[in-house]
Amino acid sequence: MNNLNQNNGMQKRMLIMTLVVFVFFIAYEFLVLKPQQEARAKQAEVEKQQSQNAAPDVTTTDTSIQGAPTNNNMSNSISSLSSKAVGSSDIITTITTAKNRILIDRLGRVAQVTLLQSIYKDEEGKEIKLFEADQLRPLEVRFANTDINNKAFEVNYTTTAEVVDATKNVQKFTLTQDIDGLVLTKDFTVYPDGHYDLKVKTSQKEQFFITNGFRPNVLADMYADHGVYVKQNDGTMELTSDEKLDKIKSYTGIKFVSNFDRYYATVIYNFDKSLQVSLMPDSEQNPQAFVHAQGEIDFSGYMGPKNFNDLKALNPQLTDVIEYGWFTFIAKPMFTFLQFVHTYVGNWGWTIVILTIIIKLILYPLSYKGMVSMQKLKDLAPKMKEIQTKYKDDKQKQSMHMMELYKKHGANPMGGCLPLLLQIPVFFAIYRVLLNSIELKGAEWILWIHDLAEMDPYYVLPILMGVSMFIQQKITPNTMQDETQKKIFQMLPIIFTFFFLWFPAGLTLYWFTNNLFTIGQQYSINKIFERQRAAKK
């Protein structure tokens, strides 16, 4: 340390920095990302109204996938598809499984997927549909040969089954398209759990591309990532978020490609044969995935919720479809443990409470050291002030005597912040787990909380969280001398309460429970120090 502030103020600045990180993280998403998202949604609506009868513009001049992404001749009937309904005259096959209903249109594409399980409902209590209007459709085929590609969008497919009932048994059917003698077939095998196997081949060895379509657009909010996620053969995961792709990006050796929003995904995967995938930006720099093929290709697919157990049942590697961000290495095992606790508790709300308690117990040694250090610094505050006053003109002696004081009393000016800093990755991991876990959707807790994935409708939890944060602040030793710093800290419970009003109830429950146990820990340590002080008198 070279001066007074570095000696006495480092601990304060570290604590401020930690809290500022939290505030910035929440404020940036609420004040910057959300307005941007709303503005984009309004602009998209305007553009949609201006071009209701126009085909989506997904052209490119890139020669690495020559001609494949050209779509100028796409049928106008598809561009007019509603996100809530699909024109029955355009549908050639309706597939019903135990978990979803899949509509195949006359160009052999997935026009819509409707989730049939009762836990998946929209805000109006209706069945959730994964795709919006005027979006690139899953399983659309495009040819490298421009002439063939243009003709393909003018020729309807034929089907061997208009109705496929796979609710109880595996079913097979075939789609066929005859493009001036070039015959393309899609052989489907559909399973009751909602996933499918698909083999696509052409009668002549033509290069073509099959797309995963644009991601589901059920819940693409400011809190979670959405875009395209790929897993490579070496296990590496790579995310391309919406509005972040400015040029075509190609991969070889891909195990799966997932187009996803917060809770839902469409996935193409093959764990036996590697896939070659290119991502192409649309007009808004959103990624669109195209799987390369030469004559034929086979793979499996899934369109639905990113439910951990459902994905694991298909293939354990598919659980990587669930994206937790930077702290995946902590978040994924944490979710596994959360699942384990839930198997015994049976309620996700109480599971979150128990998980919070367990985490607090594990981190208790760190928290205890930090709290003890803060208490010692509080007790030393008068002596620190004396040294500051006595050696105000000699910074070197001031630093030396400060260090001697700390050493004599076993105080660490950084001791109160380091434990807090080390807990930041844990917090963000829990944040991502609770944010991305569709298992919380529709999960009730107590009387007024009917969905832990949604905000508290009566703001009870955010207010309780703010009150608990205020109490925690009041009983925590504070050695700050600067009045501005004190005022900032006094405002934090209000600021946090404001932002948590719109947070998922499950996340707010975690924070509130964490505050309660921190209050208990701090209170007990305060009592211990009070008895020690009384004994010395």
Tokens coding 405: 């004081």
pTM as predicted = 0.76
What's the rounded mean pLDDT across residues 155-170? 97
What's the rounded mean pLDDT across residues 378-392? 78
Just give the CATH number of 51-323.
2.70.98.90
* Helices within 391-459 (DSSP H only): 395-409, 418-436
Give the HSE-up count for residue 114: Cα atoms under 13 Å, Cβ half-sphere: 14
Which residue, 531, 529, 535, is CA-closest to 411?
Answer: 529
CB count, 10 Å around CB of 407?
Answer: 10
Tokens coding 510: 């975690």
Any residues with CB less than 8 A from the CB of 183 and at least 6 apart, and which? Answer: 176, 177, 202, 203
Q: Which residues of the chain does CATH 2.70.98.90 include?
A: 51-323
Query: What does the DSSP 8-state code read for residue 216?
Result: P
414 pLDDT tier (thresholds 50, 70, 90): low
Secondary structure class of 127 (helix, strand, coil): strand
pLDDT digits (tens, 9 = 90+) for 488-528: 778 888 988 988 888 889 989 998 998 999 899 888 888 88
Cα-Cα-Cα-Cα dihedral sign, residues 392, 393, 395, 401: negative
pLDDT given for residue 326 in this prediction: 77
Secondary structure class of 27 (helix, strand, coil): helix
pLDDT digits (tens, 9 = 90+) for 336-363: 999 999 999 999 999 999 999 998 888 8
pLDDT given for residue 57 in this prediction: 36
Task: Look up tokens 């553009």; give the residue.
Answer: 47
Tokens coding 167: 């609710």
Residue 144: phi, psi to the nearest 5?
-70, -35
Q: CA-CA distances (angstroms) from residue 134 to 47, 259, 357, 514?
A: 11, 16, 47, 45
Q: Which string of DSSP letters, residue by residue, matches 315-363?
A: -GGGGGGS--GGGHHHHHHHHHHHHHHHHHH--HHHHHHHHHHHHHHHT
What's the rounded mean pLDDT across residues 356-372? 83
Helices 418-436 and 328-345, packing angle to 10 deg: 60
pLDDT given for residue 82 in this prediction: 38
Helices 418-436 and 364-390, packing angle to 10 deg: 140
What's the rounded mean pLDDT across residues 524-534? 80
pLDDT given for residue 70 in this prediction: 43
pLDDT given for residue 415 in this prediction: 60
The mean-pLDDT minimum among 93-97, 126-130, 276-280, 326-330 falls in: 326-330
